[in-house]
Structure 1
Amino acid sequence: MENPSRFNLIGSSPQFQQTLRQLEKMAQVDVPVLLLGETGTGKELAARAIHYLGPRAGRPFVPVNCGALAETLLESELFGHERGAFTDARQAAPGLAAEADGGTLFLDEVDALSLKAQAALLRFLQDGTYRRVGGSQERRADVRILVATNAALEQLVEARRFRRDLLYRINVLTLALPPLRQRLGDACELAQVFLRRFAHQYRIFNRQFHPEALDYIARHDWPGNVRELENQVHRAFLMSEDGYLRLGTALTVSPLAAGAALPYKTAKARAIAEFEQRYVSGLLKRTGGNISRAAQLAGQDRSAFGKLVRKLDLQGLGLGLPNLADKG
C-alpha cells in the first residue's frame, strides 16, 4: 500500500497493518463495503482511502452523516427533490447521489436511516435508479456505496429497525477497524505524530512528552480511540507550562499546580476527582445532558456512568449543564 499516512491511517501494529492490507484489496473491487468500528477508530478515513486507492479516485467522494440529518430530510438529501415537493422546497435539488455520480457515496451512521429511507436506498443499490422526492421521473447514478456504523446491525435487524435485505446488499465486504486498545504500540506512535502536527500548527517546537505521559498513553484503554487520543494530546500541548506534555490524572497539570506539597495519596485523590469532574462534565455538555449517549462515548455501562454523575453532583456545581433528570 502506498504511504497510508497520506490518508491519516497511521500505525505499525500487526493488527492495524492487517487492516490496511484488507483495505487495499477492497479498494480494487467495485462493490459495497461495510465499515465497522467503535467511535473514533477512523471509519471515514478508511472510506476515503478505499475511494482514492480505487478506480474511481478521479471522481467525487461524497460523505453523508445520516445521524446528523433529520429523518424527514434524509431521502431528499440523498436523492434530491422537485420544486414544491415540500415546504421550503422553492427550487429543485439534485441530491447527493447525483453529486457522487461516477464516484463514491459514503453513508456514515447508516443505522440512523429510517425504514422508508432504507427502502429507497435498497432500490438504488439494486439497479442504480431513484426518483427525487415529489418527482416521477426515474433517474440513474453510477456510484460506489460505502457505509459505516458502530451499531450492531444484526441486532437492529432482529428488532425490525433495519432491513435484512439491505444489510445483505451493503455487506458484500466488511472492514472492521480495530479499537486503539488492540493496536499494540500504535497509541504512542500516533501521539508523536499529533505532537509534531501541533508543533507545526502553532509554530512551537520546544515541547515533548513527559516520560510518565508516554507510559500513560501506552497503558490507557482509550475508549474514545484515536479521536480521544488526539484531543488529549492537543489539550496537553496547549496547556504545557514547562515544555512537557502531561496526560492522565495528576499529569494533566504542572507539578506545582497539582499540589506537590500535599501527601501523595491526597494529591492523587484530588487529581483523580478533578479529572473525573472535567471528563464527565465535558461529555455531558457534548451530548446535551444525555447520560446514555455520554456513557456510550465513555465506553461505560449506563448504570455505572449514572452513579458517577450522581456522585459528582454535576448539576449542583453550576457548570451550565442542561437538566440531567430528563435525559437518557
Structure 2
Amino acid sequence: MAHAEAGFGTGVFMVGRSPAFKRVSDMVARLAVCDASVLIEGETGTGKELLARALHYGSLRRQGPFIPVNCGALPETLVESEMFGVCRGAYTDARTDRPGLVQSAQGGTLFLDEVDSLPVHAQVALLRFLQDGTFRPVGGVREERSDARVIAASNADLQGLVRSGKFRADLFFRLNLIVLVVPPLRDRGSDCMLLAEHFVRVFALRFGRPARPLNQATVDWLPLYSWPGNVRELENLIHREFLLNEDETISIEPLAGVALPARSSVSCAEDAVAGLQPYRQARASALEAFDTAYVQQLLSQTHGNVTLAARLAGKERRAFGKLIKKYAIECSAFRSVSPDARIGETDRQ
C-alpha cells in the first residue's frame, strides 16, 4: 500500500493513498527537477499552492525564495508595478527604485495563483518574461533579467477565456506546455478520511490538546459527501469541530447534500418480516429506499445537474425527473453546496 504522505522537503507533505493522489504525487516528483514553467489546474480548495510549494522545495531551487502571488488580489492599476517593479520618477510617489515580485523571486520560484485574473496589459508583460526571462520595470528604459521559475495556477476554464477574448491565446499556449491537474476531493475515495485524521493531528499539536478519533457515524458519511470546497472545506470543518467538540470522540453531523446509503436488501427484508409487512408492501418500501438513495447519490456527484445525473443513470431526463418529483427530492440542496461547480451549468434544472 502506498504511503499516506508524500514529502517534498521543508515541511511540505501531501496526504493520500488513492490512485488519483498517487498520479499527482508521482507527477510532482518528476516535474520538480525539470525547471520548466508549470500550469496547475484544479477546483478551488484542492491544494494548488501546496503542489506549487512541493514543486519548488523538491527542485534545485529549494534554497531560493518561493514567492506566492494572488493575481486576483492585485489592483489592476498597480499590477505591473507590483509584478515588475518601479523606477524612480515613474510617477509622483515613486521616489526610489522598487523591485517587483519577479525580481524578488530571483533564483527561486514565482507562483502566480488565479493567473486568469491578470489584465491584458500584464499578460503581455508576463508573456515576454516567460519567453526570454526579461522584463522592464514601470518607468524604466532598460530591460532587466530574472532567473525565476514561473508556476501558474487557475480554477477557471482558460480555453474558454481564450475563446471569449479575456485571456491571450499566446500566453495560454506558453503556460499550457506542462499541465498538472489536481483532482477534486470527491474523486480521491478514502483520502478524505486520511486527510481528516491528518488535520485532527495537526490541530491537536497546534492547540496542545489530545488527538481524539472521529466517531463511527462521522466516518461513515464523510466519503459520501461531494466536498465542493475540497480539501480546504474539510480542513475548516475539522478545525471548527476539533475546537468546539469536547466529547471523547469527534462527532460531526452530515452536511447538506449527503446521500446516506440505503439499507441492504437483507436488512430491509429482516425488518419487513419482523414487522409482519405483506410482501407487496415490503417490496415497495425496499424499492423506494433504493430509488431515493440512488437518485440522491447521483445528484450529489453531479452537484444537482439533472441532465448529467440522468445520463449517468442511463435514463431519459424526463424519466429521471419523474423520480425526483416522485420522491420529493430537492435538487437545490445539492446545488447550494457547490457554488464553484462547472459541470453543465446550462443544463441545470
- Give the TM-score of the pair, scaled to structure 2: 0.71
> How far 1:86 moved relative to its partner?
3.0
Distance 1:126 1:24 in 2: 25
SS at structure 2 position matched to 1:148? strand
Query: Residue 209 of structure 1 is aligned with which of 209, 214, 220?
Result: 214
Query: Residue 202 of structure 2 is aligned with which of 191, 197, 200?
Result: 197
The 5 Å alignment of 1:260-271 reads none
Distance 2:174 2:194 in 1: 37
Distance 2:213 2:347 in 1: 35
Query: Residue 92 of structure 1 is aligned with which of 89, 92, 97?
Result: 97
1:50 equivalenced with 2:93 (yes/no): no
Give the AA of the match of 1:192.
E
Residue of structure 2 in register with 1:3 after alignment? 7
Give the AA of the match of 2:45.
G
> How far 1:250 moved relative to its partner?
8.3
Residue of structure 2 in register with 1:229 after alignment? 234
Give the AA of the match of 1:72.
T
Query: Residue 170 of structure 1 is aligned with which of 165, 175, 178?
Result: 175
Quick one: structure 1 residues 129 and 240, their matched pair in 2 at CA, closer, same or farther if it must change by over 3 Å?
same
List per-residue Cα deviations over 1:195-253 (Å, max 9, x = no partner). 111111122216221211111211111110000000000111111132222223489xx
> How far 1:62 moved relative to its partner?
1.1
> How far 1:135 moved relative to its partner?
1.2
1:81 equivalenced with 2:86 (yes/no): yes
Distance 1:245 1:162 in 2: 46
In structure 2, stretches of 5+ residues that fail to align are: 257-335
List per-residue Cα deviations over 1:65-85 (Å, max 9, x = no partner). 101111111111110011232
Distance 2:56 2:31 in 1: 10
Give the AA of the match of 1:177.
V
CA RMSD in angstroms, aligned pairs only: 2.7
> How far 1:188 moved relative to its partner?
0.2
Residue of structure 2 in register with 1:33 after alignment? 38
Query: Residue 119 of structure 1 is aligned with which of 124, 145, 150?
Result: 124
Distance 1:96 1:15 in 2: 33
Q: Which of structure 1's runs of 4+ aligned residues deviate more than 4 A?
A: 297-305
1:70 equivalenced with 2:106 (yes/no): no
Distance 1:184 1:114 in 2: 38
The 5 Å alignment of 1:128-277 reads 128-205=133-210, 207-249=212-254
Task: Calculate percent identity across the aligned residue pairs.
Answer: 48
Max Rg structure: 2
Give the AA of the match of 1:171.
N
1:296 equivalenced with 2:300 (yes/no): no
Distance 2:135 2:180 in 1: 27
> How far 1:7 moved relative to its partner?
1.5
> How far 1:88 moved relative to its partner?
3.3
Quick one: structure 1 residues 13 and 4, their matched pair in 2 at CA, closer, same or farther if it must change by over 3 Å?
farther
Quick one: structure 1 residues 191 and 92, their matched pair in 2 at CA, closer, same or farther if it must change by over 3 Å?
same
